[in-house]
Structure 1
Amino acid sequence: MADILSDFSSVDIHDGSVGKDAVEAGNLAATEHIKGMVSAANTNSETGTPPQAPPPPLLTEHPLLPFPTITSTARKAKPLPRQRWSIFRVPDHIREVDRIAYTPRFISIGPFHYKAPALKAVEGRKLRFLNRMLERISHQNEITQEGLKDAMKKLEGNTRECYSEEFENIKSDEFVTMMVLDGCFVVELLRLSGMSYKKELADDPIFATRSLPQNLGRDLLMLENQLPLFVLQKLFELTSSGKEETSLESLALQFFEPLRLGKEAIENLNVEKNMLYPHLLALFHSSFEPTNPHPPPTPIQNSSTSTHTYRTFSGKGWVYSAKSLSHAGVKFGTKPGNVLDMKFNDEDNVLQIPTLFVDDNTSPVLRNLLVYEQYDRWASPYFSSLAVFLNNLVVTLDDMVILKQSGIIRAHCGDAELVNFLYSLTKDLAFDMDDCHFGKIIQDIRGFYQTKTVKFRLFRRRTLKRIYKRIVPILMNITIIYVTTMISVYYNKP
């Protein structure tokens, strides 16, 4: 009993900072664990075997890292417009985690996958959409295919500047033709989807299927598969019949609605008229802007430990795992709406996280949102924050079970595959906790975890567990000795 009491007296009820040695130990454990997981994932991808659950971490719980001091100007409320170098090729070291997430499978838009052999079958459909569009507006609009090319020719220079590569192999006339065909296909597809969204007849084979609209939408949300939005806007204006009331942005958000991570309907389709989004992926990203943005964490005053070293660490150590929080008294629940609108109620200790649906579309959509944030520093890192937060919550399969039972994650795959999926989201992720969208929630959870009530609850749990481990074997030994003695006495009676 003395060692148990000494264990309770040694519990550190601190103010959020930890010692340097503890932090280094936690970082080392987290780093080695993640390296082992990545190595196992790469081996699985080479051998074709299904992903296995990662081994448990070296520590039962990683020591928390010092939370960074947040300045009032550290976070931007909204993304700033940016045109030049807004469309990038995904680097190989990111692509290797999930190659199909970044490569279109049905339609090529823009120069990165121009004339890709696997996508040639759709080129005829692009021309059909262009002719259909021109025929539809022929009575109200005198624009011709040559007129569209002349308009795109004026935008060619600005369009090329939006890409991170020169594409000198694509001559000017060919590039302009590509802009017309690809842009008109996207514009006409969105117009048809608007009719389908309003339960009207969209007279095209694409909308006679259940899967093709979503498959095309998934391809149109890939970073490498983008045309600048100003190109689409110009084509939308030039091919207008004069009867359209819905904006191009609203049509796009309606079309992408089935691909939203929470499967929720977009309640407000009003987009900022003065905001010139770089491309459709950026527009889709902006639609997740939280209805009630979280305030930044309270600055830590007079902190004795410098946090500059750790704030760019995107691994574990910022918040305890779901199992540990559950033991501390945190209850997990879900709420409808945007996946970014999570909430921690410190009065009843409930962490509410909107449901994240994991299906075949989740990985491509989420990974392209993440890579967009990585390669556009003006984009708010909403999904980078979500990836880091979930990666901290899930350490073992037990944590995943808690999130699934509470309705936070819904999926048709196994727990081990889900754990590996969350780990892979933060691989090579450049992140700064100064910009963490959930910084205030993390700070509130950490504060709750360090209260005396929670410390005593955890101490009591550890004590009972220790007593159970010591008493039960003793009772079992006594029972065995007693039974053995009674049997011996019974059979040795004279």
Structure 2
Amino acid sequence: MDEPSWINTVRTKLKEVHPRTHANRPWTIFKVPDNISRNETKTYDPFVASIGPYHYHASQRGTTLAMQNHKWLCVRWFLSRHQSRQLATMLLDKCLLAMKALDVEVRNCYSEDVYNLDPHKLASIMLLDGCFIIHLLLKQVMKKAEKVIKHEEKDEEKEKKVVEDEQNVELDVEGEEEIEGPLLGMLWIWNLVLYDLLKLENQIPFFVIETLFDILRAPADESIDLPKLALQLFSGFGLSSAVTNTKSAHYLLHLFHQSLIPSDGHNQLYLAHTQMVNEWIPSATKLRLAGIKFTKKNTTSSFLDLSCKNGAIEIPELFLYDYNNTYTLFRNLIGFEQCYTGAKSYISSYTNFMNCIINGPKDVHLLEMKGILINQLRPQDGVVKLFNQLSDQIQCSSDDSYLQDLFIEVKKYTESRCHKWTNGLMERFFQ
């Protein structure tokens, strides 16, 4: 390549690369880095419900295509609740224009540039996925809401007088049962949907959900609290959650992560520690031989609320009933902590601690006997494998671990016990 051609190639490349327009919000929705994902596509890719732009292509085939059609039914249902075709048309236009107006803010939530989607396509994705999520949330209170709506139905004779042009949306006012379509009764799908909604790459901004809800809400929705409904939706996972400030959540995974963080002050990160230690301690059976006691912690708001005092480690109970789903959920929570600079490494620190104390079936049995592990994984080494894999390739430094005080306390206690035991043995041996 001659000199002018080489220079022109560099110039062309510089012209192709443009800085992204920045909004007031930092990146919050990430692609999982290769060192964390390890090509585990099933862990981070949606099973049946593609949400947001990263996996939009996956919504065009198989079960995810059927779910995509279901999303359109969700939009129709929201519009039909108002029982006016003219109003439905107006609300649809308002939603689309609102989504397009948020284009820059939406794009700047994603760490990967979604340049392959024009503003109209991205607005459509936000509309479909936002209505789909809101419908899932409202299903929990749907029966109560529908009773109120029935009292607000317009007189049929008055409805017949409404003159509509061809541009109006022709909607049928049907019951909520009609929305399910071919997915009705497939409970296994809806269970997977909940896990899809908590995957790091499978998110839309929460302000999109709130904007759509504000436009489409019916009179019966006035008392609805979307974040609280979302936490209720995920309550079946068996992870005790704390009362949290739900107003600052960026998206559903962030909201769920916030709900798991212990609420009491002594479990806050970045305390002024007097010393730094490596994030490692022996297994549970070895710690027991060194005099450490393990007890189940009952009075707690979160399964992360561990403590150690006077040689006793208190750990809240943890339900382990399905390997793949538990691994998927925890791994995405960890991925969120590893990617988002505003997140505290609670899940990463917890899994590191559990990986330390669970080194074999005897450790699992000990924690089961103490009521700390409610374990349905078989064989027992499934628990060992679970926490070993969860901790793989995860960076968790001691200076940002909320469990650092616990590690310090355990090491002080075991070293003190070992020193006393050695001195006592020497005294008896040489007397």
The TM-score with structure 2 as length reference comes to 0.76
1:186-335 to 2 correspondence within 5 Å? 186-195=133-142, 203=177, 205=180, 210-244=187-221, 245-260=223-238, 262=239, 264=240, 266=241, 268=243, 271-273=245-247, 275=248, 277-293=249-265, 294=267, 299-300=273-274, 318-335=280-297
Alignment RMSD, CA only?
3.0
- Post-superposition offset of 1:243: 2.6
- Post-superposition offset of 1:436: 0.6
Letter in 2 for 1:148: C
Task: Note the residue ranges of structure 2 that are not aligned, 5 or more in a row.
Answer: 1-23, 148-174
Q: CA contact under 8 A between 1:214 and 1:258: conserved in structure 2?
A: no
Q: 1:462-494 CA distances to partner (integer Å, 9 max, x unpaired)?
A: 999xxxxxxxxxxxxxxxxxxxxxxxxxxxxxx
Tell whether 2:27 aligns with 1:90.
no
Q: 3-state SS of the aligned residue for 2:331?
A: helix
Match of residue 387 from structure 1 = 351
Q: 1:178-201 CA distances to partner (integer Å, 9 max, x unpaired)?
A: 111111111111111344899x99
Distance 2:284 2:401 in 1: 19
Distance 1:237 1:109, change over 3 A: same
Distance 1:167 1:462 in 2: 70
Q: 1:346-386 CA distances to partner (integer Å, 9 max, x unpaired)?
A: 1xx33221122222421111111000000001111110110
1:430-469 to 2 correspondence within 5 Å? 430-451=395-416, 453-457=417-421
Distance 1:327 1:283 in 2: 40
Letter in 2 for 1:364: T
The TM-score with structure 1 as length reference comes to 0.67
Name whichever of 365-374 and 94-103 sits farther off: 94-103
Q: 3-state SS of the aligned residue for 2:57?
A: coil
Q: 3-state SS of the aligned residue for 1:137?
A: coil
Q: CA contact under 8 A between 1:193 and 1:202: conserved in structure 2?
A: no
- Post-superposition offset of 1:412: 2.2
Distance 1:400 1:88, change over 3 A: same
Distance 2:255 2:209 in 1: 13
Q: CA contact under 8 A between 1:214 and 1:259: conserved in structure 2?
A: no
Name whichever of 246-255 and 217-226 sits farther off: 246-255
Distance 1:98 1:413, change over 3 A: farther
Q: Which has the higher contact order (CA 8 A, sep 6+)?
A: 1
Q: 1:428-487 CA distances to partner (integer Å, 9 max, x unpaired)?
A: 112221111111122111121122x454447889999xxxxxxxxxxxxxxxxxxxxxxx
Letter in 2 for 1:109: I
Name whichever of 357-366 and 245-254 sits farther off: 357-366
Q: CA contact under 8 A between 1:344 and 1:441: conserved in structure 2?
A: yes
Letter in 1 for 2:283: S
Distance 1:171 1:283, change over 3 A: same
Letter in 1 for 2:47: R
Distance 2:380 2:291 in 1: 23
Distance 2:411 2:37 in 1: 34
Distance 1:299 1:352, change over 3 A: closer
Q: Which structure has the greater CA radius of gyration?
A: 1
Distance 1:281 1:211 in 2: 21
Distance 2:283 2:144 in 1: 41
Distance 1:416 1:462 in 2: 39
Distance 2:185 2:250 in 1: 31
Q: CA contact under 8 A between 1:97 and 1:424: conserved in structure 2?
A: no
Distance 1:457 1:197 in 2: 66
Q: CA contact under 8 A between 2:242 and 2:262: conserved in structure 1?
A: no
Letter in 2 for 1:344: C
Q: CA contact under 8 A between 2:242 and 2:260: conserved in structure 1?
A: no
Identity of aligned residues (%): 29
1:66-77 to 2 correspondence within 5 Å? none
- Post-superposition offset of 1:413: 2.3
Distance 1:84 1:407, change over 3 A: same
More helix by share: 2
Q: 1:44-96 CA distances to partner (integer Å, 9 max, x unpaired)?
A: xxxxxxxxxxxxxxxxxxxxxxxxxxxxxxxxxxxxxx943211111333223
Q: How many residues align?
A: 361
Letter in 2 for 1:125: H
Distance 1:109 1:299, change over 3 A: closer
Match of residue 121 from structure 1 = 66
Letter in 1 for 2:407: I
Distance 1:99 1:460 in 2: 56
- Post-superposition offset of 1:417: 2.4
Distance 1:299 1:227, change over 3 A: closer
